[in-house]
Structure 1
Amino acid sequence: MSDSQFHETITICDECDFVNCIPPLEAGERYRCQHCDHVLVSVHKHVSARIMGAGLSSLLMLALAMSFPFLAFSTNGIKHSVTLFNTLEVLLGQGYLILGAIISLALFVFPIIYLVSVLFLVWSFRHPQQLTLRTIQGYSLHWVTVMQPWLMVDVFLVGVLVALVKMNSLADISFGLSFWAFCGYVILLLKTVVLVDKRWFWHQISGQAANVTGTEATAKGQGLLACHFCGASHTIDTTHCNRCGHSVYSRRPRSISTTVALLVASLVMYIPANVFPIMQTTFLGSTDPSTIMGGVLLLWSLGSYPVALIILIASVVIPLAKVLALSWLCWQAYFPDDKQTEQKIKLYRITEFVGRWSMIDVFVVAILTSLVQMGNFMSILPGPAVLSFTAVIVLTMLAAMTFDPRLLWDKAPESSASALERGTE
């Protein structure tokens, strides 16, 4: 089958469990669930060549970003420049091993694994799909699917800009060559992510899924279930997908209890994250600890209103709002009210999308720590709240991943007959 085509007999929506009969898709088309409007398949034009170009260029930009100075810091005749590796060296040298590991995973490990896996897959599509190669393809696509939610290079770039605004009144900051290379790296990596469609990839690896018949209604009511990893449809008694080998289930096991446990844990960590200092600034021998809200108030007092609002929303409002939103959705899975289920699904999609942006404050602390190290004259170190705040972000992201939105539709069977007019774009 051509790169520019996709055809499955049926596919089941991940979010509402609706069975969709998909017509053959040509290059440039995408198909939305006829029930909840969730994008199921995107078939891009010249996708293999575009992924190869964007992926290789992204790796090249990353290599350049690690080869030159990233930022330069100058105050009172004292100059200091840092590379991306200096960020890790300073954190590890100061004993912040966990924070250093988080930065290395976010900037280097996860993106490199993702890009190398995607590039290998595209390369392998042009070669005979022998059994051994197909097995490696499956493992590679598993890594691509798992890594994608944890790619945060764009969040790190925003964190750099916020850190520069914070330091603007104390020193002169200049961009090195690596900063511009890093901007290109971020843009190209995001472009690669946009081009990757898991259903299209599995279709290229294993061809069309096994033929399972179904009508345009909920899969559970027809004795069907979907593989969350590759999109293949199976009968209800299937335990492992016959295309990708992943475990399959009609509804995510212990979804609500796991989500609630993660939310409770994130609330516990939210308290020290906001009570204890997230950053400690030393200036002329005097150390001044700063909490998240303290940093927001400082930026506001300096007139940096947009940046203060960004930190307030990303670091204070979003984590708490996400906990409240997911808690309400868990409640709705058991005791639904008369609100439209479509509105609840939109709320779920928003909470899943915005969660990682709370990492801005963590990246700001890491950047300032590597940039400002001048002994008792001026230095910045992470505070005890950094790890608590990171735990809040990770726990809320995991909570959103473990919540099964199909449970909301189970409580609103009357909604399953709506919006049938929407289809191929």
Structure 2
Amino acid sequence: MSHSLFHENVTTCEECDHVNSIPPLKGGDRFRCQHCGHILISVHKHVSARILGVGLSSLLMLALAMSFSFLGFSSNGIDRTVSLFQTLSVLLGLGHLVLGAIISLALFVFPIVYLSSALFLVWSFQNKYVLKSAQRYCVRWIIVLQPWLMVDVFLVGILVALVKVNSLADISLELSFWAFCGYVLLLLKTVTLIDKRWLWNKVAGQATEHEVEQGTAKKQNLIGCHFCGATLSRDAHHCDRCGHSVHSRRPNSLMTTSALLIASLVMYIPANVFPIMQTTFLGSTEPSTIMGGVLLLWTLESYPVALIILFASVVIPIAKMLALAWLCWQCCYPSQRLTKQKIKLYKMTELVGRWSMIDVFVVAILTSLVQMGNLVSIFPGPAVLSFTAVIVFTMLAAMSFDPRLLWDKDDGPKAASLEGEKVE
């Protein structure tokens, strides 16, 4: 009979504050919250070996992607190739330091730190001399950086950029591009293998056990740590296991979310009024706004790409701001709509927010690729930083929103609930 791969009896859901009793889990099991259905724990077979193999392969593919030519550009007999690293160096050389920093963080710094931390943890599980403090820092980095991994968004941005510039020149996909595709797929696979509760269980052992009943932690004078899933006594200020500060509800959650939404709305105005990209062709410069780019792609009959940019750069930011504002309102003045429907809306805002970065990555790619003096050149416009600020503010707003506040306003009997289950 298979033994359990996850040694813990109780955990608290970070989305609804419900305390869950954990049954024995073996490889391939997923445990859902008994109340809201949120996946709390995913246990994978041979997970350490798989993280090691996939993580090392991802870093190898990144090294290959940086070693050769990435994209080729040919116009009027003039050829130009750029490497992945030149995407960053061209932006820095043109004085776009902030945009260059964003690209370096998205492509190199965050993914490398994430993968290195995961690989170090897997190695340290077999080495008893490794300091526990080093392991704890690695787990923290993994949890904090995961929402900001955007290499898949960058890959889609490359494809959109190629369609945009196709009318100006011939584009070729070089060897490093295919290595980069492998890097993206392997990194995403690594992310799916990592479960934060499993990591904390391996690094710091089981959390302190408590006598619990069905219901929320708050009603039982307990606090659930949203960082590692441990259940603590009500008077705790820091988690005994992970050391993170704990609160029954995030302090000033609605105020912080509202402030970030207002900031994103303010920045959204210049992001759409000013040009996001400037194209120089045969000595004349033509600015292009976000909507201008969508209309240009539509006139070129690139309908799928035009719709991608429209949804990613226009519809998603507006919809996310409206959705989060409505959820904040529901925390104060709840409607009769089921709480689970509101939670689904909240999850959607978390899922789609980072895809708005496509337009920023498109500008960065075109700037590094199309640099041929007065013949044809592309430069970032002043709206790039404003639009980046909109994306960052809306992502932070979603992170600062506490979904447990929605359940606090739930009237209980009207809300449907799921039975706790393991999904094979």
1:155 match: secondary structure: helix
| Distance in structure 2 (CA, Å) of the matches to 1:316 and 1:21 | 43
| Distance in structure 2 (CA, Å) of the matches to 1:417 and 1:93 | 57
Give the 5 Å matches for 1:274-423: 274-414=272-412, 418-423=416-421
Q: Please state how far the C-alpha of 1:418 moved relative to its aligned partner.
A: 3.4
User: 1:165 matched to which residue of 2?
Assistant: 163
1:288 match: secondary structure: strand
| Distance in structure 2 (CA, Å) of the matches to 1:117 and 1:415 | 44
> What TM-score does the superposition give when structure 1 sets the normalisation length?
0.98
2:235 paired residue among 210, 227, 237: 237
For residues 280 and 99 of structure 1, do their structure 2 counterparts lie closer, same or farther at Cα, with a shift above 3 Å needed?
Answer: same
User: 1:118 matched to which residue of 2?
Assistant: 118
| Distance in structure 1 (CA, Å) of the matches to 2:115 and 2:82 | 26
Letter in 1 for 2:403: P
| Distance in structure 1 (CA, Å) of the matches to 2:86 and 2:344 | 41
Q: Is the 8 A contact 2:31 2:42 kept in 1?
A: yes
For residues 95-123 of structure 1, give each alpha carbon's deviation from its aligned partner in whole angstroms, at most 9, with x where no partner exists: 10000000000000000000000000011
Count of aligned pairs between the two proteins: 422
Letter in 2 for 1:9: N
Letter in 2 for 1:52: L
Q: Is the 8 A contact 1:9 1:22 kept in 2?
A: yes
Letter in 2 for 1:5: L
User: 2:137 matched to which residue of 1?
Assistant: 139
Letter in 1 for 2:293: G
| Distance in structure 1 (CA, Å) of the matches to 2:417 and 2:317 | 32
Query: Over aligned residues, Cα RMSD in angstroms?
Result: 1.2
Letter in 2 for 1:339: R
Q: Is the 8 A contact 1:409 1:415 kept in 2?
A: no
Q: Is the 8 A contact 1:73 1:371 kept in 2?
A: yes
Letter in 1 for 2:188: L
Q: Please state how far the C-alpha of 1:207 moved relative to its aligned partner.
A: 1.4
For residues 311-343 of structure 1, give each alpha carbon's deviation from its aligned partner in whole angstroms, at most 9, with x where no partner exists: 000000100110000000000000000000000
| Runs of at least 4 residues off by over 3 Å | 415-418
Q: Please state how far the C-alpha of 1:416 moved relative to its aligned partner.
A: 8.6
Q: Please state how far the C-alpha of 1:423 moved relative to its aligned partner.
A: 1.5
Q: Is the 8 A contact 1:159 1:364 kept in 2?
A: yes
Single out whichever of 42-51 and 413-422 deviates more from structure 2: 413-422
1:82 match: secondary structure: strand
Q: Please state how far the C-alpha of 1:215 moved relative to its aligned partner.
A: 1.0
Q: Please state how far the C-alpha of 1:371 moved relative to its aligned partner.
A: 0.3
| Distance in structure 2 (CA, Å) of the matches to 1:122 and 1:322 | 37
Please say if 1:221 is aligned against 2:206: no
Q: Please state how far the C-alpha of 1:170 moved relative to its aligned partner.
A: 1.4
User: 2:91 matched to which residue of 1?
Assistant: 91
Q: Please state how far the C-alpha of 1:413 moved relative to its aligned partner.
A: 3.6
Please say if 1:43 is aligned against 2:46: no
Q: Please state how far the C-alpha of 1:228 moved relative to its aligned partner.
A: 1.2
Q: Is the 8 A contact 2:153 2:357 kept in 1?
A: yes
Q: Please state how far the C-alpha of 1:421 moved relative to its aligned partner.
A: 2.2
| Distance in structure 2 (CA, Å) of the matches to 1:311 and 1:84 | 23
For residues 113-148 of structure 1, give each alpha carbon's deviation from its aligned partner in whole angstroms, at most 9, with x where no partner exists: 0000000001111121x5x61111001100000000
Q: Is the 8 A contact 2:72 2:174 kept in 1?
A: yes
Give the 5 Å matches for 1:49-60: 49-60=49-60
User: 2:71 matched to which residue of 1?
Assistant: 71
2:185 paired residue among 167, 184, 187: 187
> What TM-score does the superposition give when structure 2 sets the normalisation length?
0.98
1:196 paired residue among 194, 197, 207: 194
| Identity within the alignment, % | 72
| Distance in structure 2 (CA, Å) of the matches to 1:50 and 1:95 | 42
